[in-house]
Amino acid sequence: MVSSATSELILRQILTNFERRVFTRGDPQKNALKKSHFRSNNEQEHHIILRETIINITTTIMSGTITSSSSMMHRSSSLVRGSKNNSGTNSNTNNRLLFLSRRNNELSASRRRLRANADSASSSSSEGSGVAFERLVEPLIKTKKEDDKLNEGIAAFYDQSTPLWEEIWGDHLHHGYYPNGSADGVDHRAAQVDMIDRALDWASISNKKNVLDVGCGLGGSSRYFARKWGKDVKATGVTLSPVQVARGNRLGEEQGLDQQVNLQVADALKMPFEDGKFDFVYSMESGEHMPDKKKFVGELARVCAPNGRILIVTWCHRNLKENETELKEDEQKLLKRICDAYYLPAWCSSDDYVKLMKAEGLKDIKTEDWSLEVRPFWRAVIKTALTWRGVLGLFKSGPETLRGALVMPLMTKGLKDGTIAFNLLTCVKE
């Protein structure tokens, strides 16, 4: 087990290497004006070293390929030292090109392992190397589930991670829809919009006038409803993140939708709205954060108008079999690691949600599993995280975001082996 002091030291060493070799080296395109072939090779070499470090971390999480964080750092440090020793004169160019070729081959091998392990990796034990890497950032995280309220942790996570997400993925903070589980030829941002449209079609929802977006993020869905259903639509979004509210409302102003869409900071378990206010209550991937699912469903039902429609799109664990009382131990361990990174309370199943809806007297209950249709999404997120734009953004965003990135492969694994289910649920309030 890596101590807190060692974890912080290792992380700071990684951060220092990134700052020294990327932030301060300038734009390679501008450097090209100097017509320095040698420097170009040197730049490429450092990028390979740093990229390999991140890929090693991700591969380790999924399969335990690297047995310890210290050995990984020793390997990366050796590569850096090797690059310095070979940087003397242009007479060493051939040696450097061989070095770069070897690093490129290793990088390709790492990528192949990454792709293969994304599907085949098993959840590591509580003391495995994957967990060790997640612990690297823990000493730097100020808001911890065991010390602070869950809501504060959720808000802090999204305050840190949302700017990077918007920069890379846009204003929709949810899965995309991929027909038959294939991402071939699919634009990922378009897939996120497609997720909204297909969920609405599946639930037979159209032309609503007063919409509540619970867990609205940047308000991407709310603004989409306003554009889709016209000027008479009023959409209200609630989130725990002040950063999301400020940015989302600014986007509404920029898009000329501020008179139709308003976001505000509020707790979904005690919303500041009167009973029966909204004819459509929408929750896109926010139910996972609710510590009291019964109260969550009750609040959705309370603010929904008579004959109004509720739509919940959420991560669940698989439904239990008749002879089961709980998930298997390895499934519970996998979900716990995801919970720790994303500030999630205990998971529930779609069967649990159906029971809660029935207890509230809700009618016309329908469910669907789209786990196959969202599976390519996490591969795409991991891929963008391993670009230089993603890597640098992760380290600049802070330890909350970095820890979330480190467990992304576990979402792929959970969806693949059936531990995690991506469920849709809809119902009507009489």
Question: Is residue 311 domain-resident?
Answer: yes
Average pLDDT value for residue range 270-290: 98
* DSSP letter assigned to residue 23: I
What pLDDT is recorded for position 396? 82
Say yes or no: 36 and 181 in one domain. no
Are 57 and 204 within one domain? no
Residue 124 one-letter amino acid: S
pLDDT at 87 over 70: no
130 and 263 co-located in one domain: no
Task: Note whether 320 and 349 are within 8 A (CB).
Answer: yes
Instruction: Enumerate residues 6+ apart whose C-beta is below 8 A from 146.
Output: none
Residue 333 confidence (pLDDT) above 90: yes
Bridge partners, 137 (sequence order): none
Q: Tell me, yes or no, whether 288 lies in a domain.
A: yes
pLDDT at 269 > cutoff 90: yes
Number of structural domains the chain divides into: 2
Quote the CA–CA distance of 277 and 429 in Å, as a whole number. Answer: 12
The pLDDT assigned to 103 comes to: 52
**341 pLDDT higher than 80:** yes
**Same structural domain for residues 324 and 266?**
yes
| Separation between Cα atoms, residue 394 and residue 165, nearest integer Å | 10
Residues 235, 311: Cα–Cα separation, whole Å: 15
Collapsing DSSP to helix, strand or coil, 252 comes out as helix
Q: Do both 289 and 340 map to the same domain?
A: yes
**Considering the chain, what is the average pLDDT of its residues?**
78
In whole angstroms, give the CA distance from residue 66 to residue 379: 21
Helix then strand then coil, % of the chain, to nearest 5:
60, 10, 30
Residue 260: closest CA among 208, 299, 193: 208
Look at residue 145 and tell me if it is in a domain.
no
126 in the same domain as 171: no
Which residue type is seen at 205?
I
* Contacts for 377 with CB less than 8 Å, ≥ 6 apart: 175, 176, 178, 188, 191
> Is 60 inside a domain boundary?
yes
Written as one letter, the residue type at 30 is K
**Amino acid found at 225:** F
Q: 382 and 412 in contact (C-beta within 8 Å)?
A: yes
User: Which residue has 């993603």 as its token pair?
Assistant: 390
Residue reference for tokens 């131990």: 329
Note if the pTM is more than 0.75: no
Q: pLDDT by residue (tens digit) across 23-59?
A: 444 555 444 443 343 334 444 444 444 445 554 544 4
Query: Per-residue pLDDT tens for 140-165?
Result: 444 444 434 789 989 989 999 999 99
- Tell whether 85 and 174 lie within a shared domain: no
Chain center to CA of 142:
20
The residue segments making up the domain with residue 82 are 4-140
Q: Which residue has the higher pLDDT, 58 or 272?
A: 272
* Residue 271 belongs to a domain: yes
Tell me which of 75, 108, 140 is where a domain ends.
140
Are residues 244 and 108 part of one domain?
no
Phi-psi region of 289 (alpha: psi -120 to 50; beta: other; left: phi over 0): alpha
Residue 46 host element (H or E): helix 37-63
Q: Which of 418, 372, 379, 404 is nearest to 118 (CA)?
A: 379
Whether residues 136 and 155 share a domain: the answer is: no
Tokens representing 117?
């392990």
Burial 60-93 (b: 16+ CB within 10 A, else e): bbbbbbbeebeebbeebeebbeebeebeeeeeee
Spatial contact of 316 and 350, defined as CB atoms under 8 Å apart = yes
Whether residue 91 has pLDDT greater than 80: no
Which of 115, 140, 165 is at the close of a domain?
140
Give yes or no: residues 218 and 354 share one domain.
yes
Burial, 195: exposed, middle or buried (Cβ in 10 Å; 0-12, 13-18, 19+)?
buried
Mark which of 140, 159, 176 sits at the end of a domain.
Answer: 140
- Average pLDDT for 218-235: 98
Residue 80 has pLDDT above 60, yes or no: no
Q: Is the pLDDT of residue 317 over 80?
A: yes
- Rounded Cα distance between 378 and 408, Å, is 7
When pLDDT is cut at 50, 70 and 90, the band that residue 138 belongs to is low
Cβ(305)–Cβ(279) below 8 Å: yes
Q: Say which amino acid occupies 340.
A: D
Give the pLDDT confidence score for residue 388 in this predicted structure. 81
pLDDT digits (tens, 9 = 90+) for 369-426: 999 999 999 999 988 988 888 888 887 887 778 788 888 999 999 999 999 999 999 9
